[in-house]
């Protein structure tokens, strides 16, 4: 694929898991600023409804299971055409949680979670690279989580995938410097979405800390990461005061202290 510079001036963003929650809030935030939106999800009806809401000429949408490389290839190609030859920001947002003691969830659910939360991000970065390279100062934003700071009981495999995404982000951000592409992540604590309402809210840690972030808060952080000069972007952005505090403490305190605090918050 050639390295031609795009001439179209409308910036574009490709978002996975865009039918609901944080993904949907990101789509709405960027659409409000006039960006061209790519909205993808396994919930096809959900992203088609979003497309109708945003306006068909300003949004390309469709079914994409992030664990399936063929879905990625097909939708990236269609998006790039619809966006008139540019991909400014890829947001690897789609994710699922399994909230239980590790052994109580069937192994197949842990495998599926890894396929979505980790392999989905790897798939997206691998297949989007040719398109990102054709757009000057493009960037990737990965949805990480405060659970990447220290493994969370009742979210063991989920935390493991987010820690892996965090380290993948760090490595790729260095590798892709040679392509002028920044790779960064956001780390929120609990956000008021269906993921927390349906599943995660049964954790004692949620009752201890509360749910203080909205999907719009995360969308606002990602908006700032899309606007900033490439050299000014932090690799990791903890979202909200509470998360910033935990981020700082996890760096300053010894592992035994992080373990103790995590266990106490989880009621252990
Ligand atoms: N909600 C939180 O507290 C929280 C905190 C930190 C990080 N996150 C991360 O933010 C991201 C979005 O979470 P959310 O809270 O908006 O969740 P959500 O459950 O509200 O929405 C997730 C969306 O992803 C879609 N999805 C699920 N599997 C998919 C797949 N295989 N391919 C494509 N789409 C798929 C769902 O259909 C849904 O529309 C996730 O990566 C999550 O881990 C969430």
Q: Could you report the per-residue pLDDT of 131-149, keeping only the tens digit for each?
A: 999 999 999 999 999 999 9
Whole-number Å distance, alpha carbon 24 to ligand 1 midpoint, is: 10
Tens digit of each residue's pLDDT (9 = 90 or more) over 35-84: 999 999 999 999 999 999 999 999 999 999 999 999 999 999 999 999 99
Which residue's C-alpha comes closest to atom 9 of ligand 1? 143
Instruction: Please give the average per-residue pLDDT across 88-101, as a whole number.
Output: 97
Tell whether 132 is covered by a domain.
Answer: yes
pLDDT of residue 198: 84
Contacts of 58 (CB under 8 A, 6+ apart): 31, 36, 37
> Could you tell me if residue 23 is inside a domain?
yes
CATH number at residue 148: 3.40.50.720
Please name the residues in contact with 168: beta carbons below 8 A apart, sequence gap of 6 or more: 118, 121, 122, 125, 142
In a domain, 1, yes or no: no
pLDDT of residue 2: 40
Total number of domains in the chain: 1
- 177-183 average pLDDT score: 98
Tell me if residue 131 is catalytic.
no
In a domain, 7, yes or no: no
Please determine, for residue 262, whether its predicted confidence score (pLDDT) is greater than 80: yes
Determine, yes or no, domain membership for 62.
yes
Q: Taking residues 106-124, what's their average pLDDT?
A: 98
In a domain, 5, yes or no: no
Q: Which atom of ligand 1 is nearest to the CA of 92?
A: 41
Q: Average pLDDT over the chain, rounded to whole?
A: 95
Does 57 fall in a domain? Answer: yes
Q: How much distance in Å is there from the Cα of 87 to the middle of ligand 1?
A: 22
Would you state the pLDDT for residue 199?
77
pLDDT at 1 over 90: no
Interval 82-105 mean pLDDT: 97
Give residue 98's domain range.
Answer: 12-265
Cα separation, 89 vs 27, whole angstroms: 12
Between CA 162 and CA 151 the distance in angstroms is 9
Looking at the predicted structure, is the pLDDT value of residue 5 above 60? no
Q: Report the pLDDT averaged over residues 167-179.
A: 98
56: left (phi over 0), alpha (psi -120 to 50) or beta: alpha
Phi-psi region of 231 (alpha: psi -120 to 50; beta: other; left: phi over 0): alpha
Average pLDDT over every residue of 158-178: 98
Alpha carbon of 25 to ligand 1 centroid (Å): 12
6: in domain: no
Residue owning tokens 């996890």: 250
How does residue 3 score in pLDDT terms, banded at 50, 70 and 90? very low
1 burial level (CB within 10 Å; 0-12, 13-18, 19+) = exposed
Q: Which atom of ligand 1 is nearest to the CA of 195?
A: 19
Report how far apart, in Å, the C-alpha atoms of 205 and of each of 2, 213, 235, 259 are. Answer: 50, 15, 26, 13
Q: Locate 132 and state its tokens.
A: 């990102």
């Amino acid at each position: 694929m050639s390295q031609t510079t795009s001439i179209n001036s409308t910036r574009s963003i490709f978002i996975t898991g865009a039918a609901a929650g944080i993904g949907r809030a990101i789509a709405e935030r960027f659409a409000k600023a006039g960006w061209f939106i790519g909205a993808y999800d396994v919930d096809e009806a959900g992203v088609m409804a979003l497309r109708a809401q945003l306006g068909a000429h300003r949004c390309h949408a469709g079914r994409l299971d992030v664990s399936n490389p063929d879905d990625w290839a097909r939708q990236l190609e269609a998006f790039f055409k619809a966006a008139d030859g540019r991909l400014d920001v890829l947001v690897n947002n789609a994710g699922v949680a399994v909230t239980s003691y590790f052994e109580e969830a069937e192994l197949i659910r842990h495998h599926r979670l890894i396929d979505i939360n980790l392999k989905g991000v790897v798939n997206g970065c691998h297949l989007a690279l040719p398109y990102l390279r054709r757009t000057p100062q493009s960037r990737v934003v990965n949805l990480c989580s405060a659970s990447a700071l220290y493994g969370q009981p009742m979210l063991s495999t989920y935390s493991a995938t987010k820690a892996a995404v965090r380290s993948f982000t760090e490595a790729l951000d260095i590798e892709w410097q040679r392509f002028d592409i920044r790779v960064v992540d956001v780390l929120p604590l609990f956000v008021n979405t269906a993921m927390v309402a349906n599943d995660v809210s049964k954790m004692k840690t949620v009752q201890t800390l509360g749910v203080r972030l909205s999907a719009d808060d995360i969308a606002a952080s990602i908006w700032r990461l899309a606007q900033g000069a490439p050299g000014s972007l932090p690799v990791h952005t903890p979202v909200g005061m509470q998360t910033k505090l935990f981020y700082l403490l996890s760096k300053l305190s010894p592992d035994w202290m992080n373990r103790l605090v995590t266990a106490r918050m989880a009621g252990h």
